[in-house]
Chain A
Amino acid sequence: MKQPTYETMDGNEAVARVAYRLNEVIAIYPITPSSPMGEWADQWAAEGEPNLWGTVPTVIEMQSEGGAAGAVHGALQTGALTTTFTASQGLLLMIPNMYKIAGELTPTVFHIAARSLATHALSIFGDHQDVMAARQTGWAMLSAASVQEAMDFALIAQASTLQARVPFLHFFDGFRTSHEVQKIAVVDDEVMRAMIDEEAILAHRARAMSPDRPVLRGTAQNPDVYFQGREATNPFYARCPDIVQTQMDKFAELTGRRYRLFDYVGAPNAERVVVLMGSGCETAEETVEYLVARGEKVGVLKVRLYRPFDVRRFAAALPGSVRAIAVLDRTKEPGASGEPLYLDCVNALRETGRAYVQVVGGRYGLSSKEFTPAMVKAVLDNLATRTPKNHFTVGIIDDVTHTSLEVDPSFSTEPDDVVRALFYGLGADGTVGANKNSIKIIGENTQFYAQGYFVYDSKKSGSMTVSHLRFGPRPIRSTYLVTRANFIACHQPVFLERFDMLRDAVDGGVFLLNTPYGPDEVWDHLPRTTQRRIIEKRLKFFVIDAVKVARACNMGGRINTVMQVCFFAISGVLPREQAIEAIKDSIRKTYGKKGDEIVQMNLRAVDATLEHLHEVQVPTQVTATWDLLPPVPPEAPEMVRTVLGEIIAGRGDLLPVSKLPCDGTFPTNTARWEKRNIALEVPVWDPATCIQCGKCVMVCPHGTIRAKVYDPSLLKNAPPTFKTTPARDRDWKERGWNFTIQVAVEDCTGCGLCVDVCPAKNKTQTRLKAINMAPQLPLRESERRNWAFFLSLPEVDRRELKITSIPHQQLQQPLFEFSGACAGCGETPYVKLLSQLFGDRLLVANATGCSSIYGGNLPTTPWAQNAEGRGPTWSNSLFEDNAEFGLGFRLAIDKQKEFAEELLRKLAPVVGDDLVTAILKASQRDEAGIYEQRERVAALKTKLRDLRTREARALLAVADWLVRKSVWIVGGDGWAYDIGYGGLDHVLASGHDINVLVLDTEVYSNTGGQCSKSTPRGAVAKFAASGKPIGKKDLGLMAMTYGHVYVASVAMGARDEHTLRAFLEAESYDGPSLIIAYSHCIAHGINMATGMQNQKAAVNCGQWLLYRFDPRRLAAGENPLQLDSRPPTKKVEEYLLSENRFKMLTKSKPQDARILFQMAQEDAERRYRLYEYLAARKLKPDAPAVAAGQTATTPSTTVTA
């Protein structure tokens, strides 16, 4: 056995390295947290990295996990070594194939970063709900508890499946293991070769389908034999545990790392034992060792092979002394008599004659809920009671059904010789990257073991990251967050206003603060709580103006290198000189491929840092007169204050069950309370220069720029700095009204899109526009008052607006505001427009993706309400079913409306014929019509309330559906082009009155930029690391072939009025409508402040077309297709080179780039010619007239050349 090589990596990389080496076909699809495994595989394949047998695996992205499973099944049947990676809903979509693969005894390993399922809510975080939902498929299930085990078990699973012919799910905890960085011993090729039985591979090949030795598989069977066939696999399952143990033993001989199907750790004479699997085993082991050392008779049984469940080995692994066990399940099966692992254990003890052992079951750790030594102790303490609580929960406070165990938060097993560090950073400042780097430096330059775990924000802009790092002399098993930190760094001083981050510092620890204030002045800029903590805990306090150092080194706001140097300089993990040299080496390694310029820039920052690092002489008195800001203002509604506010403050873990809704229903209109103050600079309006065009309001992705017109008499109580100017638009001017553009500076992200699109120039200083960026802090207080006053001004009557004109339309109140989307997001301007136009009667079905995250990720939602309490109602079902989900809305609305109309007719004698007729005949084609119908329905409801009849009550419940509702199905291109396309196609074909908005970023943005079928040719994306060789799917053209579908392709940055027109036409069309909206995206590698220019450039070169296909035009004898793009005026390459997604191909594969860019030019020209041709066709003179609104039965457009 040779000495292993140690490297630092996360669980995903550890697993992918093995899986890639041991397979030939890899079918993938992105889903958090397993996506990085597929990304690694794709990247290695793109770079020609061979597998263990010298051939480069074929990596293919499929349209869904269902598709990936199908491709895997096919590849396995045809003899290739095949794998996939997935999690959560993805695994659920694979289940049908998994039954087949197991039923056919096919060896394969699926690697699962185990994750929660979408139930009352989606969660990307880790638990075992997904794998538990697949436990009945006949797959073996091997559970890894750490990054090291994940790498080891990836190999053991592969070796075992080839021997056993039973397919394996190899799973490890999402995020806690998949994303935890650890120093591990790497499994090398030699070990892999020794473990993999080549004969078993040949046997797999020999079983494969081949016309040279034909077989029939996948038959249909009848009652006579199906059952027997099902039982025929039994011997394979019976042999499987022995095979796995044999492979584990063989692995131990090769590596020295010994595993058993059930690994027991603890006192040999233990009386109380906790049984569990996954990353919690590590914490349990750490806790048990701590307690045993203090004389407690306790132990932990770590379940490795969960299926097939080896009852005999389970019982044998438990010491005979055991009196009681607590079985912990990281899952929830409502209504079951117990969770699955618990029931397995109960049964195993009974079957092995040890039913006398008391067994209790409990749930823990759902959605990566913390699982700490204190919780393990609580579980063991529960076993020590006379009547241990069964079916308990641990880690939450359940004040509803009182399942939870009491936990002593002061209990800790953290040893003193482990460095425990916490870093609070901003996403954009590079803190996480630097910390990953520090782990590598320490892991690879010292004997220390290292661990890093990173907690991210649910917001995509201005997001806070918290890095939890540990370094110590022994392998680190603490699979929980650092709570007793001996080093805390705050990389952004603004966090001190919001978080009590020093709460977690140990006495005598170190606090490092990046601040513009020097050591002599910083004290006066700290809140009371921070000052008190520093004094009480006797912290050593250091400051550095990292921004100044970084800027001087041309690094902008990326203070990562500077802060990293500070950490090494004062933490003492490494001798200072050695640390600096190691950082410099690491910089050369990390940035070398990006050019000497980047290396030098970082090296300069290293050298410039130490002279700016100062220790602060800590005063003895707390002097601050201010303290932490409340998460939400006191006037916020109760739900916002007591629940959402607590989540904002980082205290969500402490919320008891009773505070949470029982069915996942939350109020809208809540983002307005979360004043994030994340912009360093905000737009400032210059009324003298402004032409009141509304463009800045329209493009603002975050709804923070608003315009209003109003009677100037309302300005009586205006704050002194409130800006106003006479309205220029004739309609308002005639009334003598004023106009104001107001910025919500506390909600603004500072993206700068508004400034970029502003067409007005200051006459005396042309660098200034009518809206200009200025530092936020000096404006915060005055603009907060101005915003409040602005909101108090009345909204203009929607009936008076000319909604085809942007200056008018943009006066409509947005009912989508302050989203946490990326600063400068290209999607949200469309979503906001939707909310302005139809928000007060809007139902949104939202596919999973960016829009469901910035739309519906707790704590708050940007979906808002107007003064009447009306606003969009929103829900996310799944990724794959969104079109069908939205169609369901329409069907329900139409059915209930129909029922209401039926009841109305019946009740006409009672409520009055005139009212009934007016309601039934109402035209609701414009705002006035809708307003009047609302008035009528209100009158009807008043009458109905006085009637006590069954029919009146029934009508009252459905009467609101008599007012026209607008159903929008919203999602990204991953949904519309790929996973949801089948459903989308069907819904469009259905002819029902739904509207589809595809926010087309041409990539899976939310999961980090994986290729979709919308990705254009030549773009570099994850899963298309070599540049996408195939052109973009023309979704619009496909939809047009139905003839009855309204289709529009828009790009707001190219022509905003075209976008507006398309939205209005789509909504007014009484049939299915599809709007494909080009959305620039952070995943394009562009300057987000000028994203609208990228949209324009895409249109100008013909890469993106503007068009509308309106079936109603047929009625007038017109061609339904209108090509609204002018012929391309620029070369496609010019546009391609303006976005990193294309340009980087010229740096990674220059030859391919040349070819693909040329093809992209040809694509654009061909597409333009085709659309031009189609739009120029004249209808046959005798073509049948088609009535507007005719839907499913409408014949296709009849056009002739």
Chain B
Amino acid sequence: MDLSTNYLGMQLKNPLVVSACGPLSEDIDNIRRAEDAGAAAVVLYSLFEEQLRLEMHELHHHLEHGTHSYAEALTYFPEPSQFHLGPEGYLEHIRQAKAAVDIPIIASLNGCSMGGWTEFARRIEQAGADALELNIYYIPTDMALSGAEVEQTYLDILKAVKSVVKIPVAVKLSARFSNIANMAKRLDAAGADGLVLFNRFYQPDIDLETLEVRPRVLLSTPHAMRLPLRWIAILYGRVRASLAATSGIHTAADVVKMLLVGANVTMLCSALLKHGIDHLRTVEQGLRQWLADHEYESVRQLQGSMSQIHCPDPSAYERAQYMRAITTYKVAT
């Protein structure tokens, strides 16, 4: 059975990719275990723009705070002549991951504004990453900012990064655009080698005891996959960029569905956190089983076969489907 697929111009042994997530990729052993369990590639946890900035400010602040105020304690810390700042730790992690496994390592850079941080993409490339996933995580709270401006920022960031690296760059997108298809097309035109659909924003929660807003991480549930499923189906064949499906992919059946609508790869996170990294084996086994049961020879064969352009009822991915959904809905009695 040929499970291989192509993602960002890279030949992968199967369509199962570990998505960007700290617990899964912060430890090199976990990356090794993922490879052993069958992962075709690993996206490393994200290096955050804010983290880079914050660390510099934090270090600077703490080294300066309270100094030169009091004669006996003019400073409080020894100041080495050199600091390993910013992405150093992350770059080292890339190097270690590359040394530890044979599968491609995709680095992830998370940011939302133009600035010097895009320069880090170059250093990520130099550290040996096979590709870069650009996670543009933007929450516009400025009421004066138009949607067009927000969209332009995405494109500018992509271009800035593309201008400094040769490795493929995928953009991990939010589903919150007036017209996702248009956005995808423009990113495609701007040079995105892949689109990762979709970013699951961590939504705030409230702690009822302390009355504080807490950024609680919720694991995805299988129904979350419906959104990327639709948009991959719509985008398949219409953009040059590879398509990666992420959110709510828990089982082999989920993987099959995503491949059917046109995903080049499927990215798993919550399922692995819940069931362990070895769950990849189960998914891969299930994928093989389904393909065998349904007499497919390869993944490529089914990829996109149920996309909007190839499926029997293209309107199923459009508004018409919604009408059908509500008209066939019966209130439980």
Give the B-binding residues of A (Cβ under 8 A).
32-33, 35-36, 39, 42-43, 46-47, 124, 175, 179, 426-428, 430-433, 454, 456-460, 463, 465, 558, 591, 593-598, 600, 761, 766, 822, 853, 1005-1009, 1020-1022, 1025, 1082-1083, 1085-1086, 1140-1141, 1143-1144, 1146-1148, 1150
Q: Which one of A432, A591, A598 has the greatest number of beta carbons of chain B within 10 Å?
A: A598
Give the contacting residue for A124; candidates B67, B71, B84, B116; CB below 8 A. Answer: B71
B58 to A1140, Cβ gap below 8 A?
yes
Number of residues of chain B lying within 8 A (CB) of chain A: 39
A47 to B66, Cβ gap below 8 A?
no
Q: B58 CB to closest chain A CB, in angstroms?
A: 7
Question: Given A1008-B75, A1085-B77, A1150-B89, do A1140 and B62 touch, yes or no (CB 8 Å)?
Answer: yes
B151, CB-defined interface residue at 8 Å: no
A1020 to B85, Cβ gap below 8 A?
no
A1147 to B85, Cβ gap below 8 A?
yes
Q: A36 to B63: give the CA distance in the assembly, Å.
A: 16
Q: B303 CB to closest chain A CB, in angstroms?
A: 42
Tell me which residues across on chain A come within 8 A of B57, comparing CB atoms. Answer: 597-598
Tell me which residues across on chain A come within 8 A of B71, comparing CB atoms. Answer: 32-33, 124, 175, 179, 456
B59, CB-defined interface residue at 8 Å: yes
B329, CB-defined interface residue at 8 Å: no
Q: Which one of A457, A465, A766, A1008 has the greatest number of beta carbons of chain B within 10 Å?
A: A1008
Q: A587 CB to closest chain B CB, in angstroms?
A: 12
B78 to A1022, Cβ gap below 8 A?
yes
Q: A708 to B117: give the CA distance in the assembly, Å.
A: 54
Q: B20 CB to closest chain A CB, in angstroms?
A: 21
Q: A4 to B67: give the CA distance in the assembly, Å.
A: 32
Give the contacting residue for B69; candidates A457, A1141, A1147; CB below 8 A. Answer: A457
A1140 to B59, Cβ gap below 8 A?
yes
B69 to A427, Cβ gap below 8 A?
yes
Please name the residue on chain A nearest to B53 by beta carbon. Answer: A597
Give the contacting residue for B83; candidates A36, A42, A558, A594; CB below 8 A. Answer: A594
B84 to A1148, Cβ gap below 8 A?
yes
Q: Which one of A32, A46, A558, A1147 has the greatest number of beta carbons of chain B within 10 Å?
A: A1147
Q: A825 CB to closest chain B CB, in angstroms?
A: 11
Give the contacting residue for A428; candidates B69, B80, B116; CB below 8 A. Answer: B69
A-facing residues in B52-86 (Cβ within 8 Å): 52-53, 55-60, 62-86
Tell me which residues across on chain A come within 8 A of B55, comparing CB atoms. Answer: 595, 1147
Question: Given A456-B69, A1147-B83, do A1082 and B78 touch, yes or no (CB 8 Å)?
Answer: no
B211, CB-defined interface residue at 8 Å: yes
Please name the residue on chain B nearest to A1146 by beta carbon. Answer: B89
Q: A761 to B213: give the CA distance in the assembly, Å.
A: 13
B92, CB-defined interface residue at 8 Å: yes
A1150 to B59, Cβ gap below 8 A?
no
B88, CB-defined interface residue at 8 Å: yes
Other than A595-B59, A1008-B73, A1009-B77, give 4 A-B pairs with Cβ distance below 8 A. A456-B69, A593-B83, A1007-B72, A1143-B59
B80 to A1009, Cβ gap below 8 A?
no
Q: Give me the 5 closest cross-chain CB pairs, A-B, nearest first.
A: A427-B69, A595-B56, A1008-B73, A1085-B62, A432-B68
Tell me which residues across on chain A come within 8 A of B81, comparing CB atoms. Answer: 47, 593
Q: A643 CB to closest chain B CB, in angstroms?
A: 22
* Pairs A–B under 8 Å by Cβ, sample size 23: A32-B71, A124-B72, A179-B71, A427-B66, A457-B69, A595-B59, A596-B116, A597-B116, A600-B116, A1007-B73, A1009-B73, A1009-B76, A1009-B77, A1083-B76, A1085-B65, A1085-B77, A1140-B59, A1141-B77, A1144-B63, A1146-B89, A1147-B83, A1147-B84, A1148-B80
Question: Given A594-B60, A600-B116, do A1025 and B80 touch, yes or no (CB 8 Å)?
Answer: yes
Question: Given A597-B56, A1006-B72, do A430 and B78 touch, yes or no (CB 8 Å)?
Answer: no
Tell me which residues across on chain A come within 8 A of B88, comparing CB atoms. Answer: 1147, 1150
Question: Given A594-B63, A1008-B74, A1085-B76, do A463 and B69 touch, yes or no (CB 8 Å)?
Answer: yes
Q: A39 to B57: give the CA distance in the assembly, Å.
A: 25
Q: A709 to B160: give the CA distance in the assembly, Å.
A: 65
B63 to A1140, Cβ gap below 8 A?
yes
Tell me which residues across on chain B come within 8 A of A1008, comparing CB atoms. Answer: 72-76
Q: A741 CB to closest chain B CB, in angstroms?
A: 21
Please name the residue on chain B nearest to A461 by beta carbon. Answer: B69
B73 to A1005, Cβ gap below 8 A?
yes
B116 to A593, Cβ gap below 8 A?
no
Q: A1143 to B83: give the CA distance in the assembly, Å.
A: 12
Tell me which residues across on chain A come within 8 A of B58, comparing CB atoms. Answer: 1140
Q: A35 to B73: give the CA distance in the assembly, Å.
A: 9
Give the contacting residue for A1082; candidates B56, B65, B79, B92; CB below 8 A. Answer: B65
A594 to B75, Cβ gap below 8 A?
no
Q: B82 CB to closest chain A CB, in angstroms?
A: 6
Tell me which residues across on chain A come within 8 A of B82, comparing CB atoms. Answer: 593, 1148
Tell me which residues across on chain B come within 8 A of A430, comparing CB atoms. Answer: 64, 68
Q: Residue-by-residue, is B296-310 near A (CB-CB < 8 Å gives 1, otherwise 0)?
A: 000000000000000
Q: A124 to B88: give the CA distance in the assembly, Å.
A: 42
Q: Which one of B62, B69, B116 has the greatest number of beta carbons of chain A within 10 Å?
A: B69
Please name the residue on chain B nearest to A598 by beta carbon. Answer: B60
Give the contacting residue for B80; candidates A43, A822, A853; CB below 8 A. Answer: A43
Q: A1140 to B58: give the CA distance in the assembly, Å.
A: 8
Tell me which residues across on chain A come within 8 A of B65, comparing CB atoms. Answer: 428, 1082, 1085
Please name the residue on chain B nearest to A1141 by beta carbon. Answer: B77
Give the contacting residue for B66; candidates A36, A43, A428; CB below 8 A. Answer: A428
Q: A443 CB to closest chain B CB, in angstroms?
A: 18
Q: A450 to B64: give the CA distance in the assembly, Å.
A: 24
Q: A1005 to B72: give the CA distance in the assembly, Å.
A: 9
Tell me which residues across on chain B come within 8 A of A175, comparing CB atoms. Answer: 71
Q: A549 to B233: give the CA distance in the assembly, Å.
A: 53
Q: A564 CB to closest chain B CB, in angstroms?
A: 14
Q: A597 to B53: give the CA distance in the assembly, Å.
A: 7
Q: B242 CB to closest chain A CB, in angstroms?
A: 33
Q: B204 CB to closest chain A CB, in angstroms?
A: 13
Q: A1021 to B76: give the CA distance in the assembly, Å.
A: 8
B92 to A1150, Cβ gap below 8 A?
yes
Q: Which one of A36, A47, A596 has the greatest number of beta carbons of chain B within 10 Å?
A: A596
Tell me which residues across on chain A come within 8 A of B73, comparing CB atoms. Answer: 460, 1005-1009, 1083
Q: A326 to B25: give the CA distance in the assembly, Å.
A: 77
Tell me which residues across on chain B come within 8 A of A433, comparing CB atoms. Answer: 64, 67-68
A-facing residues in B278-293 (Cβ within 8 Å): none
Please name the residue on chain B nearest to A454 by beta carbon. Answer: B68
Tell me which residues across on chain B come within 8 A of A1005, comparing CB atoms. Answer: 73
Please name the residue on chain B nearest to A463 by beta carbon. Answer: B69
Give the contacting residue for B78; candidates A32, A591, A593, A1020; CB below 8 A. Answer: A1020
Q: A435 CB to closest chain B CB, in angstroms?
A: 9
Q: Which one of B66, B67, B86 has the greatest number of beta carbons of chain A within 10 Å?
A: B66
Q: B127 CB to closest chain A CB, in angstroms?
A: 14
Please name the residue on chain B nearest to A1086 by beta carbon. Answer: B62
Question: Given A598-B60, A1007-B72, A1008-B74, do A1148 and B66 touch, yes or no (CB 8 Å)?
Answer: no
A1148 to B68, Cβ gap below 8 A?
no
Q: Which one of B52, B72, B76, B85 has the greatest number of beta carbons of chain A within 10 Å?
A: B72
Tell me which residues across on chain B come within 8 A of A46, comparing CB atoms. Answer: 78, 80
Question: Given A597-B56, A1085-B76, A1150-B89, do A558 and B69 touch, yes or no (CB 8 Å)?
Answer: no
Tell me which residues across on chain A come within 8 A of B211, comparing CB atoms. Answer: 761, 766
Q: A458 to B71: give the CA distance in the assembly, Å.
A: 8
Tell me which residues across on chain B come within 8 A of A591, comparing CB atoms. Answer: 60
Tell me which residues across on chain A come within 8 A of B78, comparing CB atoms. Answer: 39, 42-43, 46, 1020-1022, 1025
Q: A471 to B53: give the CA distance in the assembly, Å.
A: 38
Please name the residue on chain B nearest to A595 by beta carbon. Answer: B56
Q: A1082 to B85: give the CA distance in the assembly, Å.
A: 23
Please name the residue on chain A nearest to B92 by beta carbon. Answer: A1150
A1082 to B83, Cβ gap below 8 A?
no
Q: Which one of B52, B58, B65, B116 has the greatest number of beta carbons of chain A within 10 Å?
A: B65
Tell me which residues across on chain A come within 8 A of B70, comparing CB atoms. Answer: 427, 456-460, 463
